[in-house]
Structure 1
Amino acid sequence: MYRIICLCCCLFTALPACAFSVTFINPGKSDEVYWLTASRAMEAAASDLDIRLNVLYSERQHPRSVALARQIIALPPAQRPDYVIFSNDYATGPELLRLFNSAGIKSFMAFSAREKPVDHAGIGTPRQQYPLWLGSLEPRAEDAGYLTAKALIARGRAAHLARSGGKLQLLAISGDRSTPSSLARSEGMHRAVAEAGDVQLLQEVYASWEQARAAEQGRWLYLRYPQAHLVWAGNDLMAFGAMDAWRAQGGTPGKNGFFSGINTSEQALAALGDGTLSALAGGHFIAGAWALVLLYDYHHGRDFADEGLELARPMFTLFDTRSAARFNQRYHDLDFSRVDFRRYSKVLNPQLSRYNFDFKQLLQ
């Protein structure tokens, strides 16, 4: 099994001869459950596909992503990776594209791609202004916001919560204002609220994906809106922070306050099981592994362009207690070697006509 190389000081080593090499600039922290899970899934896919994988963590310091890119470019040509995968978290994508294209290194966006439909950064589409930008693959993030908000609203209705002006009162704690996946999750939440008709979104704040910051925001939100008993959160950590603040004021999550989250951390799955978390979606960590499947096929002459260069595919699953237990049983140790990633490659399975990147299939 190939080892993930976590470089806090950016120690690069020569890559030995192999089929091809990929470096992933991970925007998260090396001890952050979601991004560690994403890296472990990529490690399993790389092992199956004979890819040499390096993972470098920017530790949620977005200028560090650019610094890592510059250090990759500074390597002697023989030591550079064949491909670099990165995310457009905190809108770092355009600068990374420019750097890698100028250096002659093929690149691919995963997890968060460019902001659409408006191209504020002026980077265009893949293989045009930046010919070595091969494409992008991102989970259809709006699904996560929509599914969790819809389930949260249903839970609020079932609890017969008191209504103000005939409507349930909801608060939202989103990730950030610049990452496309964060914006899409929020859009999904807004769509669910609009469809419901009996829900009022009182305020949406941004906690930068952090538990402590969400707890701080929750404290003053609950004082400002004492009639609100539904809290939608853009990830699990922010949901936990909101729940911490709810407990601090004497409330009980799952009893008189209802919360939703996104991700598949052990803590989130346990909270869903014990009822303190009312709605949970996840599975999107697998996007990096699917990106390696696409690059494997591209490298071996089967271009994914026939399905599109900017792919946004269903990857989120709305968990219930049964599917959460199944996930824990199969992947609680973050060992994804049970998945045969070779079966999803068109090169290795010529009968495949379309990529299937839905996470549900990995729970069957």
Structure 2
Amino acid sequence: MRTFLKSMAAGLMLAAAAVVAPAQAADEPTVGVVVPTLDAQFWNSYVDFMKKGAGELGVELVVLNADNKPDQMIKSLEDLVAQGVDGIIFTPYWATAVPGLTLANQSNIPVILTDTYADFAPQTEQFPNYLAFIGPSDRDAGKQMAEALFAALEPAADGKKYIAVVNGTAGTSVAIDRRAGLQDALDAHPEVVVVGEVDGNFVRDTSQTVFESLWQGNPNVQGVWAANGGTATGVMAAITGAGKVPGKDIIVVGMDLNPENIDAVEAGSLLFDIGGHWLQGGFALVTMYDHLNGHKVPAEKANIKLELLPLTQDRVAQFKADFPGGVPVYDFKAHSQTYNKDAESAVFEMKYSK
């Protein structure tokens, strides 16, 4: 289900609420985390936010990097199980949800999935250890990106608008849902023509290389729908490298709200960005911590889809005012039921103050 969360103001009010020491908190539980790659800025932001939470809550965090390799993802999960961690938070790229949950279930280790969801709901009879999913509303984000791109393009002489698509990691729910959002927009805009699609694997260098090849065969490209921040950065690098100006000669949209992409929006190189979902890691950590301290996740709140924050050039100043350094104010203890009995959710929605 889609969970709508508290506004920024409500989040700050909660942070200011009385926070008490937990009555029976776990003695520094160990939580293992596996991310798809640390070559992407997004995942570094994800991990940094979790580390901040681990410090505030008193959690030992073990972070492993799958290095964009399916077999390394499985090996990392095996390593965490062998270490006997108290909980696992991972992103099941490459259809690793079932094997990962199975490994953890055999050792009675609770799991929260982030960013990419499984083909089944949390807390099933098969996987009672699958506590929750926390991730973005990717389809809606993909549609918003497309609509912004289409609106910015001028029709060619034949009345059509020609775009290229650089997708993310094939087969992941993230890539599939974002592309579905693009398709929703395409269905409503028959004047838009997709000249070609490539997979950028959600990383800059691959995205740059594959877009260069696509563009060479389709010089009529007017705009690019890029599946995430690293992908958009790679596309813009390819455009610049060819002596063209991103944002002028070719319009680009992306996703993630990475710092360099925020700068690109401000400079006019990137038309539109949307994100904030790297917060999902910290939200998952609070949820896991509370579970380990006896606060179970209600089944009706176990499937959380985050609404994301859109960014255009005219909103950059407000974004920087509301989120200095791109990071919202967030008190991990105030959002933890272990410390604050009145806490309703670990999650809140990023919103502009005005």
Q: TM-score, normalised by structure 2?
A: 0.83
Aligned residues: 328
Q: 2:31 aligns with which of 22, 46, 69?
A: 22
Matches of 1:312 and 1:101, distance apart in 2 = 24
Aligned to 2:194: 201
RMSD: 2.6
CA displacement, residues 92-145 of structure 1 (integer Å, 9 cap, x when unaligned): 221111111112211111121114xxx6xxxx7534112222222111111221
Aligned to 1:320: 312
Q: 1:162 aligns with which of 132, 156, 169?
A: 156
Matches of 1:326 and 1:41, distance apart in 2 = 22
Does the 8 Å CA contact 1:175/1:234 hold for their aligned counterparts?
A: yes
Matches of 1:245 and 1:132, distance apart in 2 = 44
CA displacement, residues 33-66 of structure 1 (integer Å, 9 cap, x when unaligned): 2111001111222233333322222222221121
Does the 8 Å CA contact 2:134/2:305 hold for their aligned counterparts?
A: yes
> What amino acid does structure 1 have at the position aligned with 2:32?
T
> What amino acid does structure 2 have at the position aligned with 1:147?
Q
SS of 2:113's equivalent?
Answer: strand
The 1:335–1:81 alpha-carbon spacing in structure 2 relative to 1, beyond 3 Å, is farther
Q: 2:208 aligns with which of 210, 215, 219?
A: 215
Aligned to 1:110: 114
> What amino acid does structure 2 have at the position aligned with 1:40?
D
Matches of 2:347 and 2:82, distance apart in 1 = 37
Q: 1:255 aligns with which of 248, 259, 272?
A: 248
Does the 8 Å CA contact 1:230/1:257 hold for their aligned counterparts?
A: yes
- The alpha carbon displacement at 1:261 in A equals 1.1
The 1:235–1:254 alpha-carbon spacing in structure 2 relative to 1, beyond 3 Å, is same
The 1:90–1:250 alpha-carbon spacing in structure 2 relative to 1, beyond 3 Å, is same
Does the 8 Å CA contact 1:152/1:260 hold for their aligned counterparts?
A: yes
Aligned to 2:97: 93
Does the 8 Å CA contact 1:266/1:328 hold for their aligned counterparts?
A: no
Matches of 1:81 and 1:331, distance apart in 2 = 34
- The alpha carbon displacement at 1:151 in A equals 1.3
> What amino acid does structure 1 have at the position aligned with 2:151?
A
- The alpha carbon displacement at 1:194 in A equals 1.8
Aligned to 2:49: 41
The 1:341–1:360 alpha-carbon spacing in structure 2 relative to 1, beyond 3 Å, is farther
Matches of 1:125 and 1:302, distance apart in 2 = 16
1:54 aligns with 2:74: no
Does the 8 Å CA contact 1:161/1:229 hold for their aligned counterparts?
A: no
Matches of 1:141 and 1:62, distance apart in 2 = 22
Aligned runs of 1:164-313 on 2, under 5 Å?
Answer: 164=158, 166-313=159-306
SS of 2:143's equivalent?
Answer: helix
> What amino acid does structure 1 have at the position aligned with 2:138?
A
**Percent identical residues:** 24
1:359 aligns with 2:350: yes
The 1:325–1:139 alpha-carbon spacing in structure 2 relative to 1, beyond 3 Å, is same
Aligned to 2:20: none
CA displacement, residues 163-191 of structure 1 (integer Å, 9 cap, x when unaligned): 54x22111110012211111111111111
CA displacement, residues 215-236 of structure 1 (integer Å, 9 cap, x when unaligned): 2222232233222201000112
Stretches of structure 1 that go unaligned for 5 or more consecutive residues are 1-16
Q: 2:334 aligns with which of 337, 340, 343?
A: 343
The 1:147–1:248 alpha-carbon spacing in structure 2 relative to 1, beyond 3 Å, is same
Does the 8 Å CA contact 1:40/1:335 hold for their aligned counterparts?
A: no
Matches of 1:202 and 1:143, distance apart in 2 = 23
Q: TM-score, normalised by structure 1?
A: 0.81
Aligned to 1:6: none
> What amino acid does structure 1 have at the position aligned with 2:259?
E
Does the 8 Å CA contact 2:223/2:250 hold for their aligned counterparts?
A: yes
Matches of 1:56 and 1:176, distance apart in 2 = 19
Stretches of structure 2 that go unaligned for 5 or more consecutive residues are 1-25
Does the 8 Å CA contact 2:41/2:230 hold for their aligned counterparts?
A: no
CA displacement, residues 61-87 of structure 1 (integer Å, 9 cap, x when unaligned): 221121122222223xxxx22111111
- Structure number with the bigger relative contact order (C-alpha 8 A, sep ≥ 6) is 2
